[in-house]
């Protein structure tokens, strides 16, 4: 399948390009109190380690606004300040180090207040994200449409866009999120037809880890497969690190990005003679720190395992007390089944060390199934 991404305008959030064919960037949001600088920096660093590329911070008052600039100076990734209603907070964060602001111009106040923010953003080259959520639409739109329809969300967003365009400002990206997957898909599809601004896609308030992952994967996967989306956030009621991991999983499954170890494991069945589920889960967790691209198979059937995992860089097919270790589809040696977990981890780390010594680009390896890959992979900036 070839994904033809829609051509959108290019903006830059710090060092991360958004739109116009740039790799789909992964975002999350801190759960710490922004006023707690140490805790917030620590969480940002942890999220960057698992592949977060842009982070958003809630700016609830002037103390938080003052903290943002200090946090940005220590952050390894660009920061977006999330601001509602009070334009003074936007002006404050724009006085310091910041990479983007998220506002709804319509709830900031009169056009003079919007102009003050736009002028400051223009002077500093800072883009603005317009964020529309189904749960917070303007009353007049709700009265006219009856409920938060995709059409109402798009009209709201375009109204906010118009306020910025009146000031001749175009460094904009747009989000239109709903917790309902079909509405989210329809809203982004309609917006994609109506403008060429880059789109930040997500399913709002998707839910806990399991159900939220399903909803986000279906909604964002559909949009991305149809070429819609320049940056994404998976919104989960869970540790934000899980948001980043799921986002990477969605992009990797579509062949849009590549990062880290991809575990290929067979489903459970009555023929399994090794603990495929336990081994696969533990290996994935223990190798989560690796950013180099690699396919690793952990399969429970010696007869079919090598064939099923032949596209992997390396792997194990286990059964009847023995594991068959293979590389690039070729059998290398037999090992005891009790050694499988430690053996496969050691082999992965050995290969990663070799890649680093030889200066091999860790994230530019094309997927072996022929899916199209963007030339800038992984932590591309």
Report the binding-site residues: 266, 269, 301, 308
Tell me how long the chain is. Answer: 381
Sign, CA dihedral 137-141-146-149, equals: negative
The three-state secondary structure class of 370 is: coil
The three-state secondary structure class of 229 is: coil
100 close to 131: Cβ distance less than 8 angstroms:
no
Do strands 330-336 and 16-18 pair parallel, antiparallel, or not at all (unpaired)? unpaired
How many C-beta atoms lie closer than 10 Å to residue 255's C-beta?
18
State the binding site for [4Fe-4S] cluster.
266, 269, 301, 308
51 close to 166: Cβ distance less than 8 angstroms:
no
Q: In what order do the strands lie in the sheet with 314-319?
A: 261-265, 294-299, 314-319, 322-327, 330-336
294 has which bridge partners? 261
Could you give the CA distance from residue 218 to residue 215 in angstroms, rounded to a whole number? 5
Torsion angle, CA of 105/108/111/113, rounded to 10 degrees?
-120
42 close to 128: Cβ distance less than 8 angstroms:
no
238 close to 47: Cβ distance less than 8 angstroms:
no
261 has which bridge partners? 294
Do strands 314-319 and 322-327 pair parallel, antiparallel, or not at all (unpaired)? antiparallel
How many C-beta atoms lie closer than 10 Å to residue 252's C-beta?
17
């Amino acid at each position: 399948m070839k994904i033809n991404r829609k051509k959108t305008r290019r903006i830059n959030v710090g060092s991360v390009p958004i739109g116009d064919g740039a790799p789909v960037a992964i975002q999350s949001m801190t759960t710490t109190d922004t006023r707690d600088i140490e805790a917030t920096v620590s969480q940002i660093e942890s999220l960057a380690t698992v592949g977060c590329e842009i982070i958003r911070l809630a700016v609830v008052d002037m103390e938080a606004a003052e903290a943002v600039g200090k946090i940005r100076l220590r952050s390894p990734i660009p920061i977006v300040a999330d601001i509602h209603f009070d334009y003074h907070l936007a002006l404050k964060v724009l006085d310091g180090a910041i990479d983007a602001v998220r506002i709804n111009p319509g709830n900031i106040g009169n056009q003079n207040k919007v102009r003050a923010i736009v002028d400051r953003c223009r002077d500093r080259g800072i883009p603005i994200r317009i964020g529309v959520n189904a749960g917070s639409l303007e009353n007049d739109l709700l009265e006219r449409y009856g409920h938060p329809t995709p059409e109402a969300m798009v009209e709201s967003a375009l109204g906010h866009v118009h306020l910025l365009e009146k000031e001749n400002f175009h460094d904009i990206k747009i989000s239109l999120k709903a917790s309902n997957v079909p509405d989210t898909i329809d809203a982004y599809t309609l917006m994609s037809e109506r403008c060429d601004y880059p789109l930040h896609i997500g399913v709002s308030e998707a839910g806990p880890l399991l159900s939220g992952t399903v909803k986000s994967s279906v909604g964002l996967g559909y949009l991305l497969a149809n070429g819609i989306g320049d940056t994404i956030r998976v919104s989960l009621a869970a540790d934000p690190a899980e948001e980043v991991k799921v986002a990477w999983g969605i992009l990797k499954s579509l062949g849009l990005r590549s990062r880290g170890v991809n575990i290929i494991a067979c489903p459970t069945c009555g023929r399994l003679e090794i603990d495929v589920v336990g081994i696969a889960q533990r290996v994935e967790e223990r190798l989560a720190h690796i950013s180099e691209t690699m396919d690793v198979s952990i399969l429970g059937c010696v007869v079919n395992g090598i064939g099923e995992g032949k596209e992997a860089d390396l792997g194990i097919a286990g059964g009847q007390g023995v594991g068959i270790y293979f590389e690039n589809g070729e059998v290398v040696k037999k090992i005891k089944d009790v050694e499988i977990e430690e053996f496969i981890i050691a082999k992965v780390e050995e290969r990663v060390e070799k890649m680093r010594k030889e200066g091999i680009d860790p994230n530019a390896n094309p997927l072996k199934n022929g899916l199209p890959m963007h030339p800038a992979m992984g932590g591309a900036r």
